Amino acid sequence: MSRIGNLPVNLPKGVIVTVDENNIVTVKGPLGQLTQPVSREIKIEIDGSRVVLVRDSDSKKAKSLHGLYRALIANMVEGVSKGYRKELELIGVGYRAEAKGQNLQLSLGFSHDIIFRLPDEVKVETKTERRSNPIITLTSHDKQLIGHVAAKIRSLRPPEPFKGKGIRFVGEYVRRKAGKSASV
């Protein structure tokens, strides 16, 4: 029994959910529009301000897809109504970030700057203050896309365990190692 799949998705004001004959869910809201194809084993019922997912059978595949698609639709509804936000922090001497439209220019200690092209659905802001680390703020209505973009940016210079330099999510804990000088 899927406990997540049985929960209804409540629709906030201004969000419209439609399902076409090919079982493709479209969610429209004030921040944008998202679509998601859904397996034929899951039926989507829209009643008023709630979306309920019902599975045809009790097969193992149908049970696993039930909770998955409920979570995806709930993320889509939250995305088009509130949006998502990810913050990355650059830790290291001389590390800089500058947003130029949909391009993010990063100086990460390599011999050249990295120019990272962002999708149109993702908006970027950079904040650099004296005596603090630069912060990259990504906002979007698509949770999957913003997570993918943030992970790609982090992979350009992941945090290393000895000095802690690199790109990390704000609030992320990086376990530090003592290094050679700690051994006696």
Residues of the chain with CATH 3.90.930.12: 3-81, 84-171
Average pLDDT over residues 156-172: 93
Calculate the average pLDDT of the chain: 92
Average pLDDT over residues 162-168: 93
Domain spanning 3-81, CATH class: alpha beta
pTM: 0.89
| Torsion of the alpha carbons at 72, 74, 75 and 76, rounded to the nearest 10 | 90
Give me the pLDDT at residue 149, please: 97
Distance CA 123, CA 112 (A): 24
Backbone angles phi, psi at 115, to 5 degrees: -105, 115
- Nearest CA to 145 out of 86, 93, 102, 96 is that of 86
Average pLDDT over residues 119-145: 95
Give me the pLDDT at residue 183, please: 63
Give me the pLDDT at residue 2, please: 59
Domain spanning 84-171, CATH class: alpha beta
> Looking at the predicted structure, is the pLDDT value of residue 29 above 90?
yes
> Looking at the predicted structure, is the pLDDT value of residue 1 above 80?
no
Beta bridge partners, 29, equal: 32
- pLDDT tens sequence across 139-156: 999 999 999 999 999 999
Q: What percent of the chain is modeled with pLDDT above 90?
A: 80
Answer yes or no: are the C-beta atoms of 95 and 79 closer than 8 Å.
no
For 157, other C-beta atoms within 10 Å of its C-beta total 20
Distance CA 40, CA 62 (A): 9
Buried b or exposed e, range 45-77, using 16+ CB within 10 angstroms: eeeeeebebebeeeeeebbebbbbbbebbbbbb
Q: Which two tokens stand for residue 120?
A: 């149109």
Q: Which two tokens stand for residue 50?
A: 């709630």
Give me the pLDDT at residue 179, please: 81
Confidence of residue 99 (pLDDT cuts 50, 70, 90): very high
Distance CA 159, CA 61 (A): 38
